[in-house]
Amino acid sequence: MAVKYVLKLYVTGVTFRSQAAFKSLKKIMSENYKGAYSLKVIDVMKHPKLAEDDKILATPTLIKILPLPVARIIGNLSDKEKVLLSLDLVAVR
Amino acid sequence: MQSRTKKGALEKVFTGIRGLDEVLGGGVPKGRSTLIAGGTGTGKTVILNEFLYQGITQFKENGVYVTFEEDKRDIIKNVEGFGWNYASLIAQKKLAFVDAAALKDVTFESNQNYDLHPLIERVKYAQKKIKAKRLVIDSLDNFFSRFQNKDAIRQALRQITAELKDLGVTVLMTAEKSGPEQDLTRYGVEEFVTDGVIEVALVKGQQQFLRRMFVIKLRGTDFRSGIVEFEITNQGLVVYPKIPVQNISAKTDFQVRKGFGIKGLDDILAGGIPQGHMVLVSGNTGTGKTMFGMHFLRQGISEGENAVFVTLEEPIDQVKKTALTHGWDFNRLEKEGKVSFVTTNLIDVSNDKLLYQIISAVEGINAKRVVIDSVSSLLSATMSEEQARQFLIQLSGYFKAKGITCIMNYLSLANFGAERGQLLGSLSTSEMRLSSVTDAIIMLLFVERGQKIKKLLNVLKLRGSQHSKEIFSFEIEKDGIKMGEKYEE
- pLDDT tens, position by position, B122-153: 999 999 999 999 999 999 999 998 999 999 99
State the average pLDDT over residues B393-419.
80
What is the predicted pLDDT for the residue at B285? Answer: 78
Query: Which CATH code of 3.30.70.20, 3.40.50.300, 2.60.40.1180, 1.20.1440.230 fits the domain covering B4-242?
Result: 3.40.50.300
- Which residues of chain B make contact with A73, given a CB cutoff of 8 A? 107-110
Contact between residue B170 and residue B134 where contact means Cβ atoms under 8 Å apart: yes
Whole-structure pTM value: 0.77
Q: Do A57 and B115 lie within an 8 Å CB cutoff?
A: no
Q: Do A59 and B113 lie within an 8 Å CB cutoff?
A: no
What is the predicted pLDDT for the residue at B9? Answer: 62
Question: From the list A12, A51, A76, which residue is nearest B111 (CB)?
Answer: A76
Q: Is residue B174 classed as helix, strand or coil in its secondary structure?
A: strand
Task: Write out residues 36-55 of A within 8 Å (CB-CB) of B.
Answer: 44-45, 48-49, 51-52, 55
Q: Do B103 and A72 lie within an 8 Å CB cutoff?
A: yes
Q: Do B114 and A78 lie within an 8 Å CB cutoff?
A: no
Question: From the list B98, B106, B125, which residue is nearest A69 (CB)?
Answer: B106
What is the predicted pLDDT for the residue at B138? Answer: 94
What is the predicted pLDDT for the residue at B90? Answer: 97
Peptide bond connecting B29 to the previous residue in cis, omega within 30 degrees of 0: no
Torsion of CA B75, B81, B84, B89, to 10 degrees: 40
Contact between residue A10 and residue A54 where contact means Cβ atoms under 8 Å apart: yes
Question: From the list B108, B111, B118, which residue is nearest A57 (CB)?
Answer: B118
pLDDT tier, B53 (very low <50, low <70, confident <90, very high otherwise)? very high
State the average pLDDT over residues B330-347.
92
Q: Could you read off the pLDDT of A65-75 as tens digits, one per residue?
A: 988 888 999 99
pLDDT tier, B420 (very low <50, low <70, confident <90, very high otherwise)? very low
pLDDT tier, B244 (very low <50, low <70, confident <90, very high otherwise)? low
What is the predicted pLDDT for the residue at B51? Answer: 98
Q: To which H or E segment does residue B200 belong? A: strand B196-204
Q: Count Cβ neighbours within 10 Å for each residue of B387-422 and write b for 16 or more, e otherwise.
A: ebbbbbbbbbbbbbeeebbbbbbbbbebeeebeeee
pLDDT tier, B105 (very low <50, low <70, confident <90, very high otherwise)? confident
Q: How far apart are CA A24 and CA A79, in angstroms?
A: 9
Q: Do A73 and B108 lie within an 8 Å CB cutoff?
A: yes
State the average pLDDT over residues B325-339.
93
Q: Are strands B253-258 and B273-275 parallel, antiparallel or unpaired?
A: antiparallel
Q: Is residue B231 classed as helix, strand or coil in its secondary structure?
A: strand
State the average pLDDT over residues B322-327.
89
Contact between residue B281 and residue B293 where contact means Cβ atoms under 8 Å apart: yes
Q: Is the pLDDT of residue B335 over 90?
A: yes
Q: Do B106 and A55 lie within an 8 Å CB cutoff?
A: no
Q: Do A72 and B106 lie within an 8 Å CB cutoff?
A: yes
A75 touches chain B (CB under 8 A): yes
- Which residues of chain B make contact with A83, given a CB cutoff of 8 A? 110
Contact between residue B241 and residue B22 where contact means Cβ atoms under 8 Å apart: yes
- Which residues of chain A make contact with B121, given a CB cutoff of 8 A? 12, 44-45, 48, 51
If one compares B217 and B169, the residue with the highest pLDDT of the two is: B169
What is the predicted pLDDT for the residue at B203? Answer: 86
A17 touches chain B (CB under 8 A): yes
If one compares B143 and B445, the residue with the highest pLDDT of the two is: B143
* Amino acid type, B365: I
Closest C-alpha among B370, B367, B390, B371 to residue B379: B390
Q: Is the pLDDT of residue B168 over 60?
A: yes
With a cut of 70, which residues of chain A have pLDDT below it?
1-3, 90-93
Identical topology for domains B4-242 and B247-486: yes
What is the predicted pLDDT for the residue at B187? Answer: 73
Contact between residue B167 and residue B5 where contact means Cβ atoms under 8 Å apart: no
Q: Is the pLDDT of residue B79 over 90?
A: yes
Q: What are residue B418's phi and psi, to 5 degrees?
A: -65, 150
What is the predicted pLDDT for the residue at B418? Answer: 47
Q: Are strands B480-486 and B471-477 parallel, antiparallel or unpaired?
A: antiparallel
Question: From the list A59, A60, A82, which residue is nearest B108 (CB)?
Answer: A82
A67 touches chain B (CB under 8 A): no
Q: Is the pLDDT of residue B171 over 50?
A: yes
Torsion sign over Cα B109, B113, B118, B121 = positive
A84 touches chain B (CB under 8 A): no
Q: Do A78 and B113 lie within an 8 Å CB cutoff?
A: yes
What is the predicted pLDDT for the residue at B422? Answer: 47
Q: Could you read off the pLDDT of B345-358 as tens digits, one per residue?
A: 877 777 788 888 99
First-to-final CA distance of chain A? 20
Q: Do B118 and A73 lie within an 8 Å CB cutoff?
A: no
Q: Which of B110, B123, B150, B154 to mutate to test the interface with A (most CBs of A within 10 A)?
A: B110
Q: Do B114 and A61 lie within an 8 Å CB cutoff?
A: yes
Contact between residue B409 and residue B281 where contact means Cβ atoms under 8 Å apart: yes
Q: Do B118 and A75 lie within an 8 Å CB cutoff?
A: no
DSSP A74-90: ES-S--HHHHHHHHT-P
What is the predicted pLDDT for the residue at B447? Answer: 81
A72 touches chain B (CB under 8 A): yes
DSSP chain A: -PPPEEEEEEESSS-HHHHHHHHHHHHHHHHH--S-EEEEEEETTT-HHHHHHTT--SBSEEEEEESSSPEEEES-S--HHHHHHHHT-PPP-
Q: How far apart are CA B230 and CA B392, in angstroms?
A: 20
Q: Which of A8, A18, A74, A87 to mutate to test the interface with B (most CBs of B within 10 A)?
A: A74
For B309, other C-beta atoms within 10 Å of its C-beta total 29
If one compares B245 and B247, the residue with the highest pLDDT of the two is: B245
Closest C-alpha among B348, B385, B391, B372 to residue B242: B391
DSSP at B434? H
Size of interface A-B (CB pairs under 8 A): 104
State the average pLDDT over residues B310-319.
91
DSSP B134-151: EEEEE-HHHHHHH-S-HH
Q: Is the pLDDT of residue B417 over 70?
A: no
Non-local CB neighbours of B59 within 8 Å, separated by 6+ positions: B1, B2, B3, B14, B16
Query: Which CATH code of 3.40.190.10, 3.30.1700.10, 3.90.420.10, 3.40.50.300 fits the domain covering B247-486?
Result: 3.40.50.300
Q: Are strands B440-449 and B452-462 parallel, antiparallel or unpaired?
A: antiparallel
Q: Is the pLDDT of residue B421 over 50?
A: no
Q: Do B117 and A79 lie within an 8 Å CB cutoff?
A: no
CA-to-CA dists, residue B331 to A80, B305, B315, angstroms = 82, 17, 14
Q: Do A75 and B114 lie within an 8 Å CB cutoff?
A: yes
- Which residues of chain A make contact with B122, given a CB cutoff of 8 A? 48, 51-52, 56
Q: How far apart are CA B409 and CA B400, in angstroms?
A: 18
Q: If you average pLDDT over every residue of chain B, what do you get?
A: 86
| In chain B, domain spans | 4-242, 247-486
Question: In whole angstroms, what separates CA A56 from the centre of its chain?
Answer: 13
Least confident of B76-80, B129-133, B277-281, B484-488: B484-488
Q: Which residue of B has its CA nearest to A53?
A: B99
DSSP B346-414: STT--HHHHHHHHHHHHHHHT-SEEEEE-SGGGSSTTS-HHHHHHHHHHHHHHHHHHT-EEEEEEE--P
Residue percentage of chain A with pLDDT more than 70? 92
Q: Which residue of A has its CA nearest to B104?
A: A70
Closest C-alpha among B300, B297, B251 to residue B278: B251
Q: What are residue A42's phi and psi, to 5 degrees?
A: -120, 130
- Which residues of chain B make contact with A49, given a CB cutoff of 8 A? 125
First-to-final CA distance of chain B? 70
Q: Do B115 and A73 lie within an 8 Å CB cutoff?
A: no
Domains of chain A are 5-87 (3.40.30.10)
